[in-house]
Structure 1
Amino acid sequence: MSDTPAASTKRSTWDAIAVFFEKRSIIMLMLGFSAGLPNLLLYDTMSAWMRQAKLPLDVITLFSMVTIMYAVKFLWAPIVDRVKIPVLHQLLGKRRAWMLLAQAGVIFGIWMIAASMPAVSAAVAGGVEGAVQPDPDMNLIAMVAVFATMTALFGATQDIAIDAWRIEVAAVERQGVMAAVYQWGYRLAVVVSGAAPLLLASRIGWTASYSAMAIVMGIGVLGVLFAPREQSVEPKPFPPQTTPAWMEALEWAARIVLVIFGACFMGAGLSGKAEPLTFMFPWIGMEGAMAGFAEWWTGKPWGAVWQVFGVAIGLGIVGFATYPMFKSRPSAYFAGTLKEPLEDFFKRHGSTGMLILAMICVYRIADFVLNLMTAFYVDVGFSLDEIAGARKLFGVIMSVIGVGLGGWMVARFGLMRSLLVGAIVQPLSNIAFSGLIFTGPWLPGLYACIAIDNISAGIAGTALIAYMSSLTSRGFTATQYALFSSLYALPGKILAAVSGRIVESGTAAAAAGESNGLRSWFAHIAPDSFAHAAEEYSRPAEAFAVGYMTFFIYSGVIGVFALIFALAVMRKQPPATDETADKPAPA
């Protein structure tokens, strides 16, 4: 991390590869695994346990709310920046102390979930004939929800501390590699937490299976204990008390309530779920409006617009709640946690600050709007088995390669050049996908498209993570990075919601004879291209080709905007020469 984010050193190919085998990189792999493990355990995997425990679906879906903690983690990121954990801080330093505390909370939370959930035997989990599952004690589910929420809170806090440690322990030119190995560890943990508990449950039962996952979290604990101490800067101290204690207590309470209220709006917007808001409806006598509001909030395509408005409203409420309106310690605290980190960012980057934020917002949109690809594969004519075979193992391997390639590029060629390459390669997947329109369900073409898409996404994602890391400054690392990582996907949420309408509108227009010029492009597509979709929906295959091609052109143009912004930022912040580059952080 540096105050000059463009700084980079051109290294040899082997020097760039050697960075992957440094001690910090190995530790980062372990910490990435620790960060990824709790995520699926808190809902996706646990939903299988709850269903086998005979819990109703409406209860199961409510548990998805706990993952909202990860979406709004920037709200308490300032605490991780400012508060020192007694004893642990002296032994480990600020970031590792917070990591260890958070991991202890995750381990305890997973164990308590295992102890509180209705027991499901190995026979029931394994589907043994004659095995009977008793009805669950619904009174215990509230305790499970409490422990799941606590685990999500500690898991999100662990993410904040790991990101801050990663930024502060390595120089800018190493951030690409650190981001790459973090993602490798995270993806490995997702595979383990999604598959291992299911395999173990059919042999030793769900309770023992989850207890084993708590033990696996020890990998992260070992990573913390062996991790080098970061180089952090302490924020300025708070002023002494100037107002009576009861007034401070009242101000704290009012600000915290407003922050929680704002967090509900942001959580509902960032997660796309209405529950963070509708749970308050019974308090004001609007229980009957909950179902209608949920349908309105999640409906397509306008639901995504309301969700973004919800995030904006939540930010406004949080901004008001944290604004230093008085000369008091609560005001000074919030000024130093949200207001000052933002002021610091714009003070360092000046007029370029808004350009940088705009670039961050649009950089990954071309990738985010490709949310219709499974439907596209089906319409082109691929079978579900062919799609699953290409996307699962092969897609994961290509993603791992892309992430690693992105990390190597940052180490080899520098941050800004890698960011520019990422902006260039993302639209290439659109060209590849448009090729399938002409070839039809040609399996090598499908594998080529998935390879290009996953590799380009891995390069771009790693470059963006490294770049956002370089934008932070010591003393505000956790807060600034949490803000960047929580908000950069918002524009993609709106555009992804209207993607289906673009395809439908283009298809309908071509079927009605309104796009004959574009339709003529597809007079000689493969005979089996869109054949099933044409028969199913009684529209010409060429009409589907026009609809999807319109969509690929639209998402490709968005990718061009990312390239334009990246070039503009690069012009304002050109890559540094070797003489001005940062010195590597100590190992």
Structure 2
Amino acid sequence: MEDAFIFTLRFWQETLSLYRNPRVIAMGFLGFSSGLPLLLTSSTLAFWLKKLGLDYTTIGLLSLTALPYTIKFLWAPIVDKVPLPFLTKHFGQRRSWLLLSQVLLGLCLLSLSFINPVESLSVTCALAVAISFSSATQDIAMLAYQMERLGRSQYGAGEAVGIFGYRMGMLCSGAGALSLSTVVSWNTVYMVMAFSLIVGLITVLRIKEPERPNADEEYNTLLKHYKKKFPAFSSLNQGLLPSLHLAVLSPFSDFMKRQGWVLALIIMFTYKIGDNIIGTMHNLFYIELGFNELEISAASKIFGMWASILGGFIGGLLFSRWGLYKSLYFCGLTHSLSILSNLILLHVGNDILSLYFCVAAEHITSGMRLTALFAYQLTLCNRIHAATQLALLTSLVHLGRVTFASTSGWIVDHLGWNNLFLISTFSIIPVLLIIHWLSVLEGQPFFKQKKANN
């Protein structure tokens, strides 16, 4: 009994010590810088635009400005391999790209704070695209930094702290921005958000550059291949071709060796389809029911954030208990069913308890689903090509968000809130069928048929 107690105590001491590691703590501050820009070009910007009188359809179409998140895998090899003049020499490959992306983010947000976004709608769109591009580039560099700086035993703790920081960044640009808008102008709000990026800049200046993973073996294999295939090429060209192959083609060819890789990509694109169809309309739905800015920020942003964190821990337990595909299936199903709680809120109307019930149901299951999805992404990637492969997978997740969110305003204008939530709920059915099919294909079925008795 005493031995068991000592073992348990040591286990928790070792686990908690991971969170005191400076490398792990740094992930939280980088996560904050990564989470801050997302809402500033989506729901928070939509709130500001609606306050200025823009129609739902146009607001929904502005979701397309987040397109860079969906195609960031196209320039991920550049961020991975190409050095920046002056910056890379002094800060290293990862930190130089982090610095550049964060400076560009700050300048774009600051520029947005000096205009009227409705009167200068084209400028607003251009700045929103630039913010999305800089933020996506920051995500690529941060992911690569995390993979290379942390040891394998620190990945779980680093990801937990990173997600917590990410949520704090979203809290700042979501509930923080909405609350701040009640006492200052929206232009001032965006100026404050721009200066909040100083957190990320200070972190990048203080952390160390990681050691790069060694890909010499794959490079030498490719070099022999190109020397044999193109013997007339100079040694310089022969060396350039395998470098380009390693940076651009190898991550994708390696991924395509996986069984069921096409189905995996479809899951990335459609797994969050329910939320994506609703898009940026949640806050606008609450406004239409008569809730004010403080009520929305307290329920949807602050309470919702902690509900999502709780859901993340539940998702982790389910993943440990059930394994990959069953947890992926169950978490996706429960979150889609939770969307039906919006119909209850629509029927009840302006009732604060119903609002909190709706937010709790959606955000807890959303946290569960996020954990399952991220765990699935990690199982799909090769560590040597992790930055580009994860950029590909997360790009597809964002592509689903941008593609389906652009229809949300039209659905509300033409079909109403009721049908928006019904469509969002039942759209998960094809995705669940694909998950089950893939589990059978890989020999991990979670619906096992009982053998008939003879």
- State the TM-score, normalizing by the size of structure 1: 0.53
Deviation at 1:340, TM superposition (A): 2.2
Query: CA offsets per residue over residues 191-220 of structure 1, 9 Å max, x none?
Result: 322455566677676665544333211111
Does the residue aligned with 2:84 lie in a helix, a strand or coil? Answer: coil
CA–CA separation in structure 1 for the residues paired with 2:116 and 2:68: 27
CA–CA separation in structure 1 for the residues paired with 2:424 and 2:96: 48
Change in 2 beyond 3 A, CA 1:332/1:480: same
User: CA contact under 8 A between 2:260 and 2:441: conserved in structure 1?
Assistant: no
Query: CA offsets per residue over residues 52-90 of structure 1, 9 Å max, x none?
Result: 999999999997654322222222111011112345435
Q: For residue 438 of structure 2, what is the amino acid of its counterpart? A: F
User: CA contact under 8 A between 2:31 and 2:165: conserved in structure 1?
Assistant: yes
User: CA contact under 8 A between 1:176 and 1:406: conserved in structure 2?
Assistant: no
Does the residue aligned with 1:38 lie in a helix, a strand or coil? Answer: helix
Change in 2 beyond 3 A, CA 1:385/1:183: same
RMSD: 5.6
Does the residue aligned with 1:230 lie in a helix, a strand or coil? Answer: coil
Q: Which residue pairs with 1:460 in the alignment?
A: 369
Structure (1/2) with the larger helix percentage: 2
Deviates more, 1:65-74 or 1:549-558: 549-558
User: CA contact under 8 A between 1:16 and 1:408: conserved in structure 2?
Assistant: no
Alignment counterpart, residue 360 of structure 2, candidates 430, 435, 451? 451
CA–CA separation in structure 2 for the residues paired with 1:52 and 1:372: 14
Q: Which residue pairs with 2:106 in the alignment?
A: 107
CA–CA separation in structure 2 for the residues paired with 1:76 and 1:428: 35
User: CA contact under 8 A between 1:35 and 1:186: conserved in structure 2?
Assistant: yes
Does the residue aligned with 1:426 lie in a helix, a strand or coil? Answer: helix
Aligned length: 407
1:155 has 2:135 as partner: yes
1:83-482 matches, within 5 Å, as 83-114=82-113, 117-118=114-115, 149-171=129-151, 174-194=154-174, 196=176, 209-233=189-213, 236=219, 335-347=245-257, 349=258, 351=259, 353-354=261-262, 356-357=264-265, 360-361=268-269, 363-365=271-273, 385=291, 391=300, 393-406=302-315, 413=320, 417=323, 420-429=326-335, 450-482=359-391
CA–CA separation in structure 1 for the residues paired with 2:372 and 2:424: 26
CA–CA separation in structure 1 for the residues paired with 2:36 and 2:198: 11
1:73 has 2:72 as partner: yes
Q: Which residue pairs with 2:432 in the alignment?
A: 559
Identity %: 27
Change in 2 beyond 3 A, CA 1:384/1:565: farther
CA–CA separation in structure 2 for the residues paired with 1:563 and 1:45: 36
Change in 2 beyond 3 A, CA 1:434/1:217: closer
The structure with the larger Rg is 1
Q: For residue 94 of structure 1, what is the amino acid of its counterpart? A: Q
Deviation at 1:98, TM superposition (A): 1.2
User: CA contact under 8 A between 1:367 and 1:457: conserved in structure 2?
Assistant: no
Alignment counterpart, residue 394 of structure 2, candidates 474, 477, 485? 485
Query: CA offsets per residue over residues 134-155 of structure 1, 9 Å max, x none?
Result: x98x7xx877766655444322
Deviation at 1:171, TM superposition (A): 4.9
Change in 2 beyond 3 A, CA 1:448/1:25: farther
CA–CA separation in structure 2 for the residues paired with 1:142 and 1:432: 37
CA–CA separation in structure 2 for the residues paired with 1:435 and 1:44: 20
User: CA contact under 8 A between 1:28 and 1:166: conserved in structure 2?
Assistant: yes
Structure 1 residues not aligned, in runs of 5+: 1-10, 121-134, 240-326, 500-532, 534-543, 573-587
Q: Which residue pairs with 1:273 in the alignment?
A: none
Does the residue aligned with 2:199 lie in a helix, a strand or coil? Answer: helix
User: CA contact under 8 A between 2:98 and 2:138: conserved in structure 1?
Assistant: yes
- State the TM-score, normalizing by the size of structure 2: 0.65
CA–CA separation in structure 2 for the residues paired with 1:373 and 1:62: 12
User: CA contact under 8 A between 1:81 and 1:476: conserved in structure 2?
Assistant: no
User: CA contact under 8 A between 2:76 and 2:140: conserved in structure 1?
Assistant: yes
Deviation at 1:468, TM superposition (A): 1.7
Deviates more, 1:30-39 or 1:165-174: 165-174
